[in-house]
Structures are given as C-alpha cells and as structure tokens.
Structure 1
C-alpha cells in the first residue's frame, strides 16, 4: 500500500466513522476506486482502533466521570453517582445486545451482502430513517438521568443493524436514541460512548488477525500514516459533527446518503466488489 493510499484510507475511515453515512460503505467504495483488497479484517480493525483513540481522548472527562461514578455508587449512593452508575449500565446493556446479536448475525451477513445494490439500498434506508427522525418525530428533552433499560435495549437493537453494510452505526444509534425521546445532546454523547466497547470488543475477538502478516502485506510506513490520518480525521469528524448538530439538520446527511447510494448503484461493478 502506498503512502497516499494509506492517507486516503485513514481520511475516509476517520471522517465517516462517526457521521451517519456508513464508514463500511465508504471503505468498500474506496477499495474499489484503488482496486485494493484488504488482507482479511486486520487493517479495518487497525483503523477502527485509531478512531476509538480519538473518541477516548475527546470524551476522556465523560469516561472518567462514568467509570468513577459507577464504582463510587457502591459506596456513596449520591444522585450524581447514581446517574453515572445507571448510564454505565445502559452502555453495558446496549453493548451486550449488539455483541450477542452481532455474533449470531455475523455468519449470515458475511461478505455476500457487500454488493453495490445492497449497500445502495442500505444507504437509502439510512437516509429515509434520518428524514423520518428529523421531519416527523418530535425531539425529546430527556437526559441520561431520565434514561431507562428500555432505552438501552432499543438503542442496542438499533446499533445491531450496523452489521449490515451501508447501515451507519452512528446513524442507527443516534436515530434510535432520538426515537426513544432522548435530547439531541444526550443522544450524541450516548452514541459516541457506545462505540468504544463495541469496537474494542470486536478488536479483541479478531485479535488473531492483528499480527506480523498485516505489517508484511501493508508495510510499516503505510500503517503509521493510516493510523495517524485516521486519528486526526476522526477527531475532526467528532468536533465537526457535534458543532454541526447544534446548528443544522440531519436532513443533509440523508441527502448525502441518497447521492452516494445512486452513485454506488450506477458506477460500482458488482463482479469486482464481490472479490473484495
């Protein structure tokens, strides 16, 4: 892999990971453009870890508050610690649902759904869901202190849909969180914090694929550049999305999904994409 390709893969992964536009679809499309095939899942996992590092640093205070409050609640059952404790529980519940169902659906989904028409259809569904939540559903005002187990179950189920290529994980969790009546700020925060255990868990399950083979097939310089690129653009993506949602609408992401879906359906070769 060339340095330029490594940089672009990192840019695509970083920007699209947290936007409701499906990073998987964009990575597949980028592979098609370069005619490049990843050696297994190792490189994708590697890029995801760079994105997670950006999230953990950006939300470091929230993570510390939730973790310390979670354990302090066993000793000091103050209202503040109670909120952090249950918010941690809701993260665990949603993650457990996603992880469990994800393992069940993994073999069903596989590579067979990474076709241009399936990805285009999934992007269209993502766009329609964004329009629905924006135009036809009233935003809620509930924060983490008002959350329930039902909320975490619904968001966990929504996040599970992201195993389908073209369904955005961030989009699915954000839509599900808004659907149950959480405020926009709480929904965004919950969505970002949920990605940490999900991707770390996926990385642990696929740890055997991360090894010397990846370094020999891709090259150390390219791996370094792609990691740094992913981290930087993931950070920029987080900052931009949070600021964007304070002033603008999810409707624009829906339009983007529709445009990409049309381009994928019209211009991506089905025979070539199945080889990836």
Structure 2
C-alpha cells in the first residue's frame, strides 16, 4: 500500500540513503510495475490496443468524409464507440486526462511532499480510510457499457490525488470505482490498466534526466534486480488483489496502514 510513501518513511526513519542512482532506480521500478500489469492483463490490453488503433483509423476516415461531404457528397460517418472495448478505450482516455493535468500542475508540490516524511505518514491514514470505505461499499455490476464519462473523469481525479506519497494509487482508484458502482473484478482490472498511461508519463518525465547520472556497474545490477523483484511482486500482488476483492478483506490492509501512520507520526515528532 503506497510504495512511494513507504520509501520516504524508510529513508527518514532508518536514515537509509536512496539518493545514489535513485532516479534510475525509480525508472526501473516503473518498468517492473508495467511489466507486471502487462503480463497480468495482456488479453485485455492487447484487445484495447487493437481497438485504439481502429478508433484512430475511423476518426481519420471521418475527418476525410467531413471534407468530402462539404463538396456535396453524403457519405455516412463511422460510429466511433460501437463496442464494449471501444467504450473501454474512451473511458481510459477520459480517466487519463485529469490524472495528467493534476500530475503536471502539482508536480513541484508532490516533489516537495516527498521531502517531508510527515506528509506520507499522515497520508497513510487517508489510505486506511479509503480501504475501509472500499469494504463498506455494496458491490455494483457496472462494466464499460454502463459507465459514464463523468465517472471515468472522477476516477482519473482520484488517481491524480494518489500522486501524494502515502496515498495508495490502487487503493484510492479501486475505492473510487466501487463508489461508482463498478463490478468488483472490473474495478481492480480498470484500476491497474488505467495506471499504464500514468506510469509511462512518469517514466518519460524521469528519463530525460537520466543522461546527467553517473552510474556504476553495481548500481545498474541492483536496479535491474529491483525491476525484476518489482515485476514479480507486482504480478503476485495483482493476483492477490483479484482474489481479495471477492471478499471484504481490505480492512486488514486498512489496519496496517493506520498502525504504520500513527507509529510513523509519533516517531517523527519525537525526532
């Protein structure tokens, strides 16, 4: 629950130096996370990619037909959203827009928050509250065809809020999905798949600074190992989450987050 928050707290409370090769380390962790998501949901992702290209093709065709129709022709336009997976693609795009805007607008504030350990310590309590809510929400049955674009935008906003260290991205977005009445299994799937553009965006922002780093062979080996560990643990976590969502067991993670939050705040205030 919130790896970024845990890393900030570990660095502050245990005086662990994570600065050496830290940027490259972050990038490799992101790649590991992406690999886990692609492996876990490749069937859906490959279908979404195909439909995404079909949407682009139909959109360009419609633009061409628009100009043709200006000359007096009456060629019909292609219907863009004509299947469940096409609606799925559009929902993901809508969710990504507010996440991206929040990430860009508040980038400097989030970076500052990563330097203040008390912030993730308190935000872990926010995560605990979200997880309790997730357990309390009555299960819905919504899948792409029943989900509105407004709901997709709200879920995107929740993912943007989760850029704060200590606020679990998956916990926040799954809770938002459940509050919108999503089918439980689809809520988990949507939460992880919608993270792909956000993680890729974070990688792009970080990669441009990699050229300034001086890495040793040991740094590179450790980072590759970290990527593999992130991929394996991420895949197992996804599978575990898919099983967990069937019951109401998020409360156990909520208790863990609350305990870590209180203990961290006390430790930080004591110095």
TM range (shorter): 0.7 to 0.9
SS of equivalent to 2:215: helix
1:135-192 alpha-carbon deviations (Å, 9 max, x no partner): 2x32211112211101111001101111211111111111111111111111111101
In the TM superposition, residue 245 of structure 1 has moved relative to its aligned partner by 1.8
In the TM superposition, residue 122 of structure 1 has moved relative to its aligned partner by 0.8
The question of whether the paired residues in 1 share the 8 Å contact of 2:125 and 2:258 is answered with: yes
1:244 is matched with 244
CA distance 1:241–1:34, shift in 2 (3 Å): farther
In the TM superposition, residue 113 of structure 1 has moved relative to its aligned partner by 5.3
**TM-score, with normalisation over the residues of structure 1?**
0.81
* Count of residues paired in the alignment: 249
Question: Which 5+ residue runs of structure 1 have no aligned equivalent?
Answer: 1-20, 272-276
CA distance 1:196–1:223, shift in 2 (3 Å): same
1:259 is matched with 259
Question: Which 5+ residue runs of structure 2 have no aligned equivalent?
Answer: 62-77
CA distance 1:124–1:88, shift in 2 (3 Å): same
SS of equivalent to 1:247: coil
1:187-234 alpha-carbon deviations (Å, 9 max, x no partner): 111101011111011111221223472533862221222121111111
RMSD of aligned alpha carbons: 2.5
Distance 1:269 1:47 in 2: 30
2:69 is matched with none
Q: 114-123 or 217-226: which moved more?
A: 217-226
SS of equivalent to 1:182: coil
Q: State which structure, 1 or 2, has the greater radius of gyration over its C-alpha atoms.
A: 2
Distance 2:123 2:251 in 1: 17
> Does 2:83 match 1:103?
no
The question of whether the paired residues in 2 share the 8 Å contact of 1:97 and 1:160 is answered with: yes
The question of whether the paired residues in 2 share the 8 Å contact of 1:70 and 1:86 is answered with: no
CA distance 1:107–1:270, shift in 2 (3 Å): farther
1:37 is matched with 18
CA distance 1:196–1:112, shift in 2 (3 Å): closer
Mapping for residues 152-163 of structure 1, pairs under 5 Å: 152-163=152-163
The question of whether the paired residues in 2 share the 8 Å contact of 1:123 and 1:166 is answered with: yes
The question of whether the paired residues in 2 share the 8 Å contact of 1:116 and 1:270 is answered with: no
> Does 2:23 match 1:23?
no
